[in-house]
Structure formats: C-alpha cells, structure tokens
Chains A and B, each alone.
Chain A
C-alpha cells in the first residue's frame, strides 16, 4: 500500500526542485491529495503540470493509487 511519504519522495525525486505535500484523503492508503510546488511547472499548462505528476506513477494511478488529486504551483 503506498504511503504519503513514498508519494512525496517519488514526486520530489522525479521533478527537479519540486516540493510536495501529500495527504491521505480518507486514511485508506488509496485516495491522495498532492500539492506540488516546482519551478519546473513554469510555462506549462495545468494539463502538462498534472501530467508530469501522473507520469511519476504511471499505471499505479487507477490501480493501487485509486485517486490522486493534484494542485500545482510555481514557487514565484
């Protein structure tokens, strides 16, 4: 079962300079909310920003990660 710590670490490892906060929405280990701040998002559309994060987890989204709610921001 994925943990909030694991998701945070993987997002931050995959997106240079990213800072992620991950919350388990219902305590069940399968519905998560990630807030990610990264300069790598600059100049990208919301779709592209969210795809960067979905890409970290691939097929796990919809599988063990049943739902991943995303909020993205640049630091500036």
Chain B
C-alpha cells in the first residue's frame, strides 16, 4: 500500500484552504455553477460582496475524495473561512439569512428582503434563499 506516501492532491487542497481566508469548493465556477447547491452558496458570498477563492471540484474526482477526507464532510459545496469548515449549502443559507455569514466574513449583513432599497442602480437580488421546500 502506498497510503503513507505523499498525496499531492490532498496537500494542494490543504494548502489552498490554508492560504485563502475564504474558499469555496463547488461544482463548476461562481460564474457557471454546475449544481443548484453550489450556485446558491456562491451566490450568497457574491451577494455579500465577500471576496472568496473558488475551486471547481469537477475536473478530477480525486479532488472531492480528498477534500471530504480532510473535512469529514460528504457533500459539495464546502465553505471554509480561516481554515475552518463553515458548512455546506444548507448551513451557509441559514447563516446568510440570519446575518451570521456576514459576521463570519466581516462584511455588511444582507439587505432585509422586506426593505426595498431605493435607487435604480440597485441590482436585483442574485439569489433566493429557498432551501427549505415543503
């Protein structure tokens, strides 16, 4: 077995987590997400105008395998802040809605959906938090 030998993919993932204060592992890219869960999670970060690094896990199945081994988290997306796993799509959506995400990222909380912002240059909300169906 070569389990104890160097694992370049795992090392690269760990290094990326260590080097980027906010990093999202997702399917596809923020501009072209390949999964609704990844799209919502990237959208929440974009909505808060929080700078983040994004890694597309799709090009190589080993990325997801090694990422989940590091994080002990089975699904994609996965958001890390300051080297710690924050959560997946559900947790990020809950934290976005409650303002905790903005707090964790050190940015302004989202506009309350009930307050229609004035001004014609306001972009439409880029995502809807509709994670709970039924």
Task: Tell me, rounded to whole Å, the shortest Cβ–Cβ distance linking B129 to chain A.
Answer: 12
Q: With A46-B94, A71-B90 known to touch, is A33 a contact of B72 (CB < 8 Å)?
A: no
Q: With A35-B132, A47-B91 known to touch, is A62 a contact of B75 (CB < 8 Å)?
A: yes
The 6 closest A-B pairs by CB, nearest first: A61-B74, A23-B134, A46-B91, A54-B74, A70-B90, A62-B74
A50 touches B132 (CB 8 A): no
B8-52 CB contact bits vs A (8 Å, 1 = yes)? 000000000000000000000000000001000000000000000
Q: Is the interface of A mostly helix, strand, loop or mixed?
A: strand
Question: In the bound complex, what is the Cα–Cα distance between A69 and B94 (angstroms)?
Answer: 12
Q: With A47-B85, A70-B90, A71-B90 known to touch, is A54 a contact of B75 (CB < 8 Å)?
A: yes
Chain B residues within an 8 Å CB radius of A5: none
- Give the total of B residues in contact with A, Cβ under 8 Å: 19
B75 touches A33 (CB 8 A): no
B122-134 CB contact bits vs A (8 Å, 1 = yes)? 0000000001111
Chain A residues within an 8 Å CB radius of B72: 51
Question: In the bound complex, what is the Cα–Cα distance between A49 and B1 (angstroms)?
Answer: 35
B90 touches A50 (CB 8 A): yes
Please name the residue on chain B nearest to A23 by beta carbon: B134
| B75 touches which of A25, A35, A46, A61 (Cβ 8 Å) | A61
Interface centre among B37, B87, B88 (most CB of A within 10 A): B88
Question: In the bound complex, what is the Cα–Cα distance between A50 and B37 (angstroms)?
Answer: 16
A67 touches B37 (CB 8 A): yes
Question: In the bound complex, what is the Cα–Cα distance between A21 and B87 (angstroms)?
Answer: 21
B74 touches A69 (CB 8 A): no
| B133 touches which of A33, A61, A70 (Cβ 8 Å) | A33
New A-B pairs, 19, CB < 8 Å, besides A33-B134, A50-B91, A67-B37: A21-B134, A23-B134, A33-B133, A46-B87, A47-B85, A47-B86, A47-B87, A47-B91, A50-B87, A50-B90, A51-B72, A54-B74, A54-B75, A59-B74, A68-B75, A69-B90, A69-B131, A70-B90, A71-B132
